[in-house]
Amino acid sequence: MNDMNDMNATNGMDAPKPPAPPLPTAPPARRPRHARRRVLAVLAAAATLATVALLAAQTHGPAPGEAAGRGHPGHQSPAAGMSPAAGTSGADRTSGADRTAGIDRTAAGTAPAGAGGAAPALRYFEGRAFDTCDAPSLAVMRAWQASPYRGVGVYFGGRGRACPAQRQLTPSWVASVHALGWRLLPLFVGSQAPCVFAEAKRRYAIGSSPWSQGIREGGEAVRAARALGIDTASPLYLDMEAYRHTDTRCASTTLLFVRGWNREVRRLGYVPGFYSSAETGIRHIEAARRAGAADLPSVVWFARWRGAPALDTETVLQPLAWQPRARIHQYVGNVSESYGGRRLSIDRSAVDAPVARISASRAGARP
């Protein structure tokens, strides 16, 4: 991501990561729109069957020695990595690479129910997004309406942020940017894997009680989101920088933290998402999904800087994993772009996933 103090990133934020595969000579041909709709229908049916089979076969709680924490024991994201929207959208799904304006859709009744009762609707966005370390000023966001982007990643919380001040990031900014037509992707940079590659992130290593620490930071994320006017049924994306997932002890600690964070975020009515390098954190979380682990994220945001979006063809994910409407691909990082005379250093992402819902009391703010 672009939450960084240096420019050494190769596949995410500020950590050295395994090299990306060579850039393809030409983008793969797209299926016709009607064919993609048929594929989505099959994916949705498969997701439903997978949910039934998985829930019938097993229920997992926290690992031995960890407290059960709050929330329903064994609470699991739909189909353990299938989209929370499975079966709700038959719309054409594209990478967003050729869109200059994003598409908003609302799916009723698909968000996790919070402590208050019925689940509100998720709001989906399909198109291009960017993220940058500090939330830009409102004037910059107005100027960037001339860009091909309609989504923006904002680092709204977490002790591991490289740009913690976020002077622009206020409830008024959130409401105003939303009123301009921007769709927000809230990123939380909390504690990091003990085996994180980035030296600057090692001071934020997960401690000796990863499950309870994950629950605690999940609650912190929700409180920070609420304070900005980000409503329930919004995704909160946990940013876990690239780490040595082949280190068994470190991987176990990291997964317990992530699961605890997911459980608490979900219990409080929000949608847990997970950002990481495709070759490390995403490979690890996909292995956990295949193993039937509980409390996995509902959405994945994977970094593989290959120059072109590949939402549907990421090699570390099985084709049905986090489908449909639950993937974001960060496909380019650390590039400088200018629109309306305003220049930013950004990462580029293709999105077909949930975005923030802004509280009705603040959504009417003037841009």
Q: Give the pLDDT confidence score for residue 111 in this predicted structure.
A: 56
Amino acid letter, residue 38: R
Report residues of the chain scoring pLDDT below 70: 1, 4-101, 105-118, 361-367
Domains identified in the chain and CATH numbers: 33-363 (3.20.20.80)
**pTM for the complete prediction?**
0.77
Question: What are residue 95's phi and psi, to 5 degrees?
Answer: -75, -15
- Residues 257 and 69: beta-carbon distance below 8 Å: no
Q: What is the pLDDT of residues 195-226, one digit of tens each?
A: 999 999 999 999 999 999 999 999 999 999 99
CB atoms closer than 10 angstroms to residue 290: 12
Other C-beta atoms closer than 10 Å to the C-beta of 107 total 20
State the SS3 of the chain. Answer: CCCCCCCCCCCCCCCCCCCCCCCCCCCCCCCCHHHHHHHHHHHHHHHHHHHHHHHHHCCCCCCCCCCCCCCCCCCCCHHHCCCCCCCCCCCCCCCCCCCCCCEEEEECCCCCCCCCCCCCCEEEEEEEEEECCCCCCHHHHHHHHHCCCCEEEEEEECCCCCCCCCCCCCHHHHHHHHHCCCEEEEEECCCECCCECCHHHHHHECCCCHHHHHHHHHHHHHHHHHHCCECCCCEEEEECCCECCCCHHHHHHHHHHHHHHHHHHHHCCCEEEEEEEHHHHHHHHHHHHHCCCCCCCCEEEEECCCCCCCCCCCCCCCCCCCCCCCEEEEEEEEEEEEECCEEEEEEEEEEEEEECCECHHHHCCCC
**What is the reported pLDDT for 136?**
98
196: β partners: 243
Whole-number pLDDT of residue 103: 75
pLDDT at 179: 97
